[in-house]
Each structure stands twice: as structure tokens, then as C-alpha cells.
Structure 1
């Protein structure tokens, strides 16, 4: 063991010590840069800073030992005569430089990710690794990538040059290192990641009540691999539970309504017959889900930048819901909530999970009534498994690959511009109308997404200048879309639904910042719906039941959402979450379920947008567990699928 310790300073392993020192220094610089970028959000103070950098140093060190595992193995098994040979030295120099360059590249990668999400690498980064075409394309279109990569040669070269001229570096290439000595040192180096893998978990890391401080104390690379391990969380394994039967019974009470009757007495069966009074309406449905349209961007919510005149006009002329919350921070979360009317699942969205075919979905309800049901998307629908999910849950799929060259006047890596998407949506509606069939088109936009590029000359904000341009162009496209729709024979018999998939940003000082989940919902049909403003607290999962209620449909339901217009004051609530944290918002209190059985609670002032820690309310906690535990159990046991005999899965 003594030889192993000495070898860290006098032989080839001293290179690893040198590299680890650089690793720690570069990550400290990264932490400082990210802290500077979010200075207004960070809680500063001597103790806070000391904790951030101290805990950060620990996780940086652990990550460094993970990082060098391949090199440790190489150093152990390469014989002295090879390692010390003059032809091998350039190899060491090359790989040392490459390692330093990768560290510098990591600084830039973390900065870009932080700029977009206000987080260290997490499950979003893991998902994006699967879709390299879109992600790399987005980066290429958003940033001067090649100049940045070339610029990294400067700091990388300087660090390498200083190290290569050092006595440690030169001595490491010449000093002998017998196999027993190499094996002992290698064993010590490898035991560090082995022990840390078994005993260190960053998911419960908390250095502050401020989420930004907690994120800064983490290491991005460590979090990337931790997210890869935990991307699919089983509720039963990670979250606080109660007796399953009791929670299922509680769920039935929570989703019960005056106009619905359960078809079974079994607590495992949430199927109920919903009866809506009045004659059934067979209106066409144009459900437009707008990428990243936070409530705060719209004038009707108080924004004075004039970005959304068309959406504001529709809100004033339709049924406008101003207190609705997105269920998550990813598009697939919004799509899940809108089609399945279910609370967010821990880990991955159902849209991306295997075995998601034949779910009880909005698509099938319309399809069974003879509607043309179409999922219309401007991008490549293989992204996030969207095409597969919609094709196997009641919709026909139309995406970028189905559009002709003439239809695609402008596109970026995420998809055709919203104007082109809306034009194709109108064509699909025309085709259904010509065939004598009502239609339900689920349209998903892409233009309000980095790199924020769109056709020139449409709005007064130059392309690639930020979110405001994306918001204003999408609003412009909505205006043109509605102008064209008003000329159609089917317009008077169509209900237009405008809702966001999620907000434009989810970063905040608390674990689930509610103000970052507020989104608009507009139901517009001037011949059938009177304008009104609804301020009831509600969720994306309530959109489908509300829509069906407006149509006066009677149907068997497995939805967890409710008709917003019929909600009683004590029924108002919303659900928000990330892939790990599950929130239940009722009254002015937010209850959060955390992995490993933890819980948090906050009081939220919707006017001031202030959110402060509070004591846990037992009733709210039990309701939260009732929803999330029961929803997970029902999904896992196949009880949220369509009734046996009705499957008829699409080919």
C-alpha cells in the first residue's frame, strides 16, 4: 500500500493526479460561471458559498475518479517497456491534451444547458442523447459552434503546455513502475468509484432551500449519469406509500363528480359513466398545442411587450382559463396530460414508455364516434416516440415527412415553421370535411423553440434574437391561421382549442416553482361558446373532460381530470412535476413528493408569485399520494387501457 501511495507522485499515476487537479479546477470555474449567469437567483453568503464549493468539490472529485477509470486500467496493464518507450510518449501527450480539451468543452456544454434550463445536466440531457439529429441541429443553428470549438483550443492548449513542461509530467513518462505497484495503485483508484457508486446519491442533495444553490453544488457529468440510471422511476420503490386499497378508494372519491356513476364497486376500477345534459354536439375540434407558451408571455396576463395580439384577441372572444397549470416541463408531459387526462408519472412520460398502446385516450373517444382523428406535427415525429404513441392511441399521423417541398416554405431542425404547419392542418380539415366526416386534429407547433428561426418579414423581431421572436412569430402564425379558417365552410361548426405544452422556462428558486407552470387555455367557437373568463384552479388533465362536457357527450371514462366549468371550489387543484418531483397544488398550498420517501410543502401567493416553505398538511399529503400512487398502480396493472374487446389497435 505504501508503494501505491508513493507511486501517485513518482510514476505514471502522477499523470492521473495532475489530471484530477485540472478536473477539479475546471469544474470550479464552471461552477463560478454558472453562478454568475444566475447571480440574481442565487443566495450568496459566506456559509452558502463555502457549502456550494465544498460539496461541489466532493462531487467533482468523485466524478473525476469515474472519468479516469479507462485510463487507470490502461496504466495498470501496459508494461513498462511499452509505456516508457519513446514512441509511446506522443500517445500520452495526445490523450492528455484530448482529456483537457474535453473538460473545456464540458464547460461550454454546461453553460449552454444552464442557459436553456437553469439546471445541471439531468434527464433532459439523457433524452437528448437519443435524438442527436435534432439536438445537434438545434445547437448548430443556435450558436457559433465551430468558432467556439476552435476557441477552446486556446485554454486547452495553455493548460496542456504548462502541464507538459512540468517535472511531474516528464518524470511520469520516465519513472519505472512494476506491475505489483501498478496493481496496488490501480486498485485504490478503482475502489473510489466502486464505493461511491454504492454509497453516494445526489438525488437528496440539499445545501440550501434555494434550488439554484443546490444545482450549483452538483457536478454536471455526475448528474448526467445519475439521470441515466434513474430516468424511469417506479413509484412503489421511490415514493411515500399508503395502503393500496385505501388509496384507490380515496382516488375514486377525488375524481367522482355529480354527473358520473361508477360501473363497478371494485376500488381497482375507476371506470364511470359520465352523463352531460343536452343534445350531443358533433363539432369539429382543432386542438392546437403551442410549444413553450408561458402565460407570462401573453398580454392578457399582463405582458406589455405586445407579443401576442392574436392570442389575446382569441382569449377575449372565447372561453379563457387564466389559472391553469402544465403538468410538467417537457412536451411529452403536456401531450400525455392532454390525451390521457392523467397525472404525471414518475420518471418518463407514458408517451415514451414501452407498452403504451391502446390507452384510454381522447383520440379513441373521438374515433369511436366516427371522427377523423389526426396528429399533425411539423417536425419528425419519431422524436420522443410521438408518432408511435399517437398512431397506437387513436390517431392517424401526419408529420414533416408527409409534407411536399411546396408545403415546406421554411424549416429549422425542429420542424417546418408554424405557418406551414397550420396550412397543412387546414388541408387535413378540408379533406375530412370533403369526405363528410367530422374531424379532431391535434396540432403541435415548433417555432417557439430555440433557435427561434422563422420566415423573414413576418414580424418586426429579427430571427435568432431570443424567445420574444419565437413567441411573436407563433402568435402571427395563429392570426393567419384563424384568418384562413374563417373562410372555410366548416368554421362555424368547429371548436378551436389553444393550449401550451409547458412553459418556456422551468428554473426557479424552489423545487417546483409554480409560476413556471402557468399556461393559457383558450376555447374559441363564436357560434357556440359565449366569451367568458374562468379563474378556477385547474390542470392540463382537465382539458379533455371539459372539452367533452362542452360537446354534451355521454361516455365511459377512465380520466383523472374533471370538467373545469362544473368544478366545485373544494375540487379545484392542479398537478405539476419533473421526472422526480411530483406536486399537488390545492388552495394556496403545494405539496411535493420526493424520491426516497421525502416530502415538501409550500405556500404560494399567486399575485406576488412568492413561494415559501410551509409545514406539511396531512390531508393534502394524503390526497397527493392518493392521486400519484393510485395512478401509478393503475397504469402498471394495465387498468388505464381501453376496455378489453374495444382495443382494435391501429395497424
Structure 2
């Protein structure tokens, strides 16, 4: 085909590479369509648009990948064409590029298996934390077999190029000046058009999320996420006047027992309680990795993998209708420490200028509590140590030598090797981190210091490995096994804590950071934000709270049970207050959601929005006309949260 454009045989290898890439990317797209056979739209027009939209993005991807090679071909003088150096460079970089891309195609399949999406900001994050990711891959997949397979495919592709005389033609055909200029110009124009006019969001054309995701190119999506992992609300989303936005939120947060202490663009208020005395109890807070509500028998699961948590639901203040704010651990951490809706882009835990914020630790530290953060891995991952250390917590983790920044006034201690019985890519097992927490609690009790211990678990995470012989499902087999082990570890923690002198004066809070999966065919898979939450050992009657609520409401509810007077910049509210208005705030890094009852408003970047009725029975969303008041309230929650953080008004 390329012969008709003149003497372009010098580009023979490049043309073969482009055809191979487009064909392979299309085969991958077809494989993903087959994978999600029951979920994608098989309407003929939808399928064709999925495929042709994908080819369009694949073409842009391969152009960007090829720019460096094109520059080499165009700029190399003709007298060096076919020289030993030319042959070595073309063979080596062609082989290397194909190897990397074949690996990327395999990686897309594993990424899809985990997240049901093409590469996105999660993949960008994982690129930064290479130790955890590489270790996770080594423990989850047969890496020698995988690398061997990638090498084999690379060799086969190169052999096909060789047999088709792609290399021979490239090494024996110099380029005319006209051909160089024309080819370079076309490349630069096409690249510029993609950069200037094409957004990765343009691939999201279908109401069926799977069709839209499969339309994308994974590599193109990766670099789009790399560029846009922080998004200022006012630039990407529909806005209203700040005065109106804050007026709406202040009205929603106003209570008889609270008084706003600042005017205008603020939610800062003083919350008082009518009782003369406060409960000053120790608090152990456990944020459980990927604990979907759907794992519990309490919510219909018949696998009996959470017997302890199911029993705990009967003897605690149990939240039956709580929803996570996001799909990542750092979102859960943001929600339960700042009690704030999910701002677009990266979680605040990972952003700059996130030290000295007003978090729940401020409420505890004002009462002279020792605040500690426990993590079984290296807290450098996801910026956890910096965030927690910069907001008043002492750090206990399995650090590999990374240090806290100089501006953090806190203590960091490693979990020692002699305190570890089992460790995988993500850290020590849940039993070990709970044992460390109990040891620290013992020390605080001996020193007559009240404590707030925040524990982040790791065992319910791929590769799903944990100590042998603890539960019926063998380690490394499935997430269900990891959930069963986490349930076991929690039971053991409570059993050991009950024997401690500080137990009677300690409240335990257990809540998920997010669900195990959050992807579905609709814009937002509402059911996959439903999480369990427990407040245990409170001197109040056990109860089940069926009000719709959010992670951000957990601490205001507990502080209400404690009858505490405190300062608040929190967007969460006491669920047990008669004035509480049921609602949940949730989203992805680009979708921002307000749910009230079964109505769901979704704000999207590019200043788009949509309104749905959620059918809980089949977890589907049915489009409906936008209600102006609901729309403005949704904007208000997210616009004000973003405004306060970006303008450093939460410090």
C-alpha cells in the first residue's frame, strides 16, 4: 500500500509496526468485548462505534509512539542508511518497542481483571510505587512464564517482519528530501491535531460504560490520566456563585446544636452538646481494605466468609446503609479523616499542601489523646506517611528507609522483624498489625495516656496471601479467602483486646475503605459503593441504622455519641440527629455524585451532568429530567469542598 505514495520503503519497518499495533489493539478490544459479553451493548451500531472509536484512538497512540522513530528515519543522512549502526539501532529499538507493547497488552488484561477499566489514574499511581507493584506482580502471576510469553510473541512478530522483507527494504532504500519533509509534516500535523482537539473523555460516548471503556486505547488513557490526575473544580465542572454554593451547604449542615463562627466562604462551626459530661474513651479505628457490604451474610452473602463481622452487626451500632466516597484506599482515608466529599482528581491524601489540615486528629489532640497511624506496609506508598504525619499522627509502618519530610513534627517507628509472622507485597498480615497496635495501646495505658489508634489493613488485597492454616480457604486462591482471613484477624484482635485493662474504656470502629470492585456498565455502579460500618463497645443500646449516609458522617456520629463539644470544618453530620437528611456523596476521580433516596445526580468533567433513578433490585440507572434544586445542591457540596481545600481554608 505504501508504495503508491512514492519511494517510502525506508519506512517499511515502521509501516509493518503500525499495522501490527492496530491489529493487536483491535484483537484486544474484541477480547474485552467477549469478556464482558453479558454487560456490553451488542447493538450493531454500538459495536461498530466501539470498534471504530477504538481504532481512532489506537491510531493516535501509534503515531505518538512512532514519533521518535520517524525523527530518526527523517534526520539520518542517506550515506548511513544500511550501515551497521543503522541496522543495530533499528533492530534493537523495534524489538524493544514491540516487547514493551506486548507486555502492556498483557498488563491491560490483568488491569481489566482487577478494575474493569482501561489504564487510568490507578495505573499512573502504580507506576510511582514500583516496589509494591513489582512484588505484587511476582506474587500474583507466574512472572517467568509471562516474560517468556512476551519474549516469544516479540520474536514471532520480528520474524514476520523479517520474512516480509521489512528490514531488508528499510536498509536498502534511501529517502529523498521531498519524502522526508512530507512524512515529517504529516506526522507533526496529526500529532498536533490529537493533542489540540482530542480528549480521552471523547471516547465516553455510550451510556454503557463498558462500551465506552473498550473504545479507549489503554496507553492513550494512561497518558491522559498522567496529565489530568488533579482537576480544579471550577475549570472542569458546572459551577454556581460561590455565595449561593456556601449558603446551600451551610443550610444543609446547620443544626440546633451548632453555631457558625465564620461568615461567608466557610463551614467552620462550633458544635455543642447538652449533656454536662463527655465520654473520654480510647478509640481503635480499623479501616479495612476492600470490604464490600456484599461479602457479609447480613447483606445476603451465602458463602459464610464473615462470621465474626456478621455477629458484630448484632452487637454494635451498625450502619446498614453507608456508602464509600470513592474507589481507592486514599479516598477512604480522606473521607474518614477530613469528613469531606471527594474532590475531583487525586485524593487530598496525595496532593501537595495537605499538612496541618483540620482533621479528626485535631478533635482528639485537643483532649490530649495520642494519635497513631498503623500500616502493615511502607507508608511511603500513596503518600500515607506524609499525610498522616503532617496531620498529627505518629507513624508505625514497615518502612524500607524512606523518611518523613522535615516539616512534619511527629514520630515514626518501624514494625520490627521480630513482630512479623507473615508478609507479602503489600505488607504484614492483619494479625501482625493488630498485635502491634495492641502493644502500643498497652504502653499508652501504662503511661495514663488516652489513645486514638488508626489501623489500615492490607490482607484483603491481591495476591490474597496470608498465613496458612488460619481459615478454610487456602491463601492465594481468591479474594473470598482474604476476606475470610481478615474476618478471622478481626476476631482475634477483639479476643486479645478483651483481656486488656483498657478494653472496657475503648470504643472500636470498623469500616471499609471502599468496595472490592466499583466498575459496572453504568456511569456509577451504585451498589459497589455500599460498605459496612460498626461502632463497638459503646455504652448505648445496640442498634441498626438504616438511614442512607456516607463515610464522612461516621466521626460526627461518634462524636455525638461521646457528647463532645468541638470545632468542625467537617461536611459530615451526626446520623442520629433527628435533623439529619439522608444522602450519600460518592464518585470516581472524574465523576461526582449526590444520592438521595433512589435519585442520583452525577457531575462530570467537561461541565456535563446527568440525573438518574437507581433501581436497587438490578443496580441499574434510568435517566430522568434534571431537578434544578437537586442539581444545585450537588454542585454546592463539591464546589465548596474544592474551594476550601484549594484556597487553603481547611488548615
| Distance (Å, rounded) in 2 between the aligned partners of 1:457 and 1:167 | 59
Instruction: Say which of 517, 528, 531 aligns to 2:529.
Output: 517
Which residue does the alignment assign to 1:336? 334
Which residue does the alignment assign to 1:192? 190
Instruction: Say which of 414, 419, 433 aligns to 1:407.
Output: 419
| Native 8 Å contact 1:318 1:529 kept in 2 | no
Which residue does the alignment assign to 1:222? 220
TM-score, L = length of structure 2: 0.95
Which residue does the alignment assign to 1:648? none
TM-score, L = length of structure 1: 0.95
| Native 8 Å contact 1:339 1:361 kept in 2 | yes
Match of 1:452, SS state, is coil
Which residue does the alignment assign to 1:647? none
| Distance (Å, rounded) in 2 between the aligned partners of 1:473 and 1:503 | 17
Residue 52 of structure 1: how far off its partner (Å): 0.7
Match of 2:519, SS state, is coil
| Matching of residue 493 in structure 1 with residue 505 in structure 2 | yes
Match of 1:564, SS state, is coil
Match of 2:10, SS state, is coil
Residue 263 of structure 1: how far off its partner (Å): 1.7
| Distance (Å, rounded) in 2 between the aligned partners of 1:85 and 1:437 | 76
Q: Which moved more, 1:451-460 or 1:77-86?
A: 77-86
Which residue does the alignment assign to 2:199? 201
| Distance (Å, rounded) in 1 between the aligned partners of 2:3 and 2:146 | 40
- The aligned runs of 1:64-463 (5 Å cut-off) are 64-86=62-84, 88-264=86-262, 266-278=263-275, 279-401=277-399, 402-463=414-475
Residues 103-151 of structure 1 show CA distances to partners (whole Å, capped at 9, x for unaligned) of: 2212101001101100000011111111111111111110011111101
Going from structure 1 to structure 2, the CA distance change for 1:4 and 1:555 (only over 3 Å counts) comes to farther
Residues 184-206 of structure 1 show CA distances to partners (whole Å, capped at 9, x for unaligned) of: 21221122111110010121433
Residues 196-239 of structure 1 show CA distances to partners (whole Å, capped at 9, x for unaligned) of: 10010121433321101100000000000000111000001100
Instruction: Say which of 515, 519, 527 aligns to 1:507.
Output: 519
Instruction: Say which of 571, 574, 588 aligns to 2:584.
Output: 574
Aligned length: 635
Runs of 4+ with deviation above 4 angstroms: none
Residue 45 of structure 1: how far off its partner (Å): 2.7
Match of 2:313, SS state, is helix
| Native 8 Å contact 2:240 2:635 kept in 1 | yes
Residue 255 of structure 1: how far off its partner (Å): 1.3
Residue 180 of structure 1: how far off its partner (Å): 4.2
| Native 8 Å contact 1:287 1:442 kept in 2 | yes
Going from structure 1 to structure 2, the CA distance change for 1:412 and 1:567 (only over 3 Å counts) comes to farther
Match of 1:358, SS state, is coil
Which residue does the alignment assign to 2:621? 611
Give unmatched runs, 5+ long, in structure 1.
642-651
Which residue does the alignment assign to 1:21? 19
| Native 8 Å contact 1:26 1:103 kept in 2 | no
| Native 8 Å contact 2:522 2:620 kept in 1 | no
Match of 1:370, SS state, is coil
Which residue does the alignment assign to 1:645? none
Going from structure 1 to structure 2, the CA distance change for 1:4 and 1:553 (only over 3 Å counts) comes to farther
Residues 515-537 of structure 1 show CA distances to partners (whole Å, capped at 9, x for unaligned) of: 010000100005x1321111000
| Native 8 Å contact 1:602 1:612 kept in 2 | yes
CA root-mean-square deviation: 1.5
| Native 8 Å contact 1:241 1:629 kept in 2 | yes
Residue 90 of structure 1: how far off its partner (Å): 4.1
Match of 2:611, SS state, is strand
Give unmatched runs, 5+ long, in structure 2.
400-413
Which residue does the alignment assign to 1:550? 561
Which residue does the alignment assign to 1:6? 5
Residue 183 of structure 1: how far off its partner (Å): 2.9
Which residue does the alignment assign to 1:597? 607
| Native 8 Å contact 2:444 2:451 kept in 1 | yes
| Native 8 Å contact 2:81 2:173 kept in 1 | no
| Distance (Å, rounded) in 1 between the aligned partners of 2:464 and 2:561 | 35
